[in-house]
Amino acid sequence: MRFPLALCLGLVALASAGQSPLQRRVVRELLEYFHGRSNVHALFKEQAVEAAVEREDPSGTFVQLRVSLAQTACGKRAPRRQNCRVLENRRKPTCLACYKFDRGDVPKVLDKYHNCGSSHHLAVKEVRQRDEAECAAVEEAGRAADALYLPGMFAFSKGLPA
């Protein structure tokens, strides 16, 4: 029984090692958001990143993650969060997180969207369509400003005659 658990924990560690710094940041912020909800009383841990998209454009970096979480035996205010064991056959919500970061040395969040629920809930067509639309809007954040204000755009313009 210990071998499958050790194998599962090893795979989670391996998966997180392959994540970019922005993806790890999104997972951290997603967990903070999830634990901040009033209906969540237990501590949840990242079980797996089921899907990851990271795209760069002139306005910044877009990150979209679908993360499955697992409930632990600890309360969400537990002082020692690293020693909490995952409970089998308990709640395993899936979260979708879409973030747009600027291109700074310490990337700032331009826009974000979260949706967490049971995997069945997130598979409902209407929810999936809303998630796609919200994530598309997040990805567009910052692009309008880039299109309107190009560096040096007004450097050589002349004023209109009076």
State how far the Cα of 4 lies from the Cα of 24, in Å rounded to an integer: 25
Is 49 within the bounds of a domain? Answer: yes
Residue range of the domain that includes 17: 2-147
Is 38 within the bounds of a domain? Answer: yes
Is 161 within the bounds of a domain? Answer: no
Identify residue 13 by its one-letter amino acid code.
A
Is 122 within the bounds of a domain? Answer: yes
Percent of the chain with pLDDT over 70: 75
60 or 121: which carries more pLDDT confidence? 60
Per-residue pLDDT tens digits for 35-93: 999 999 999 999 999 999 999 999 999 999 999 999 999 998 877 777 889 998 888 89
Supply the DSSP string of 39-87, one letter for each residue: T--EEEEEEEEEEEEEEEETTEEEEEEEEEEEEEEEETT-S-GGGPPBP
Number of domains in the chain: 1
Mean pLDDT confidence for 2-30: 66
Q: What is the domain-level CATH number for residue 43?
A: 3.10.450.10
If phi > 0 it is left, if psi is from -120 to 50 it is alpha, else beta; for residue 14 that is alpha
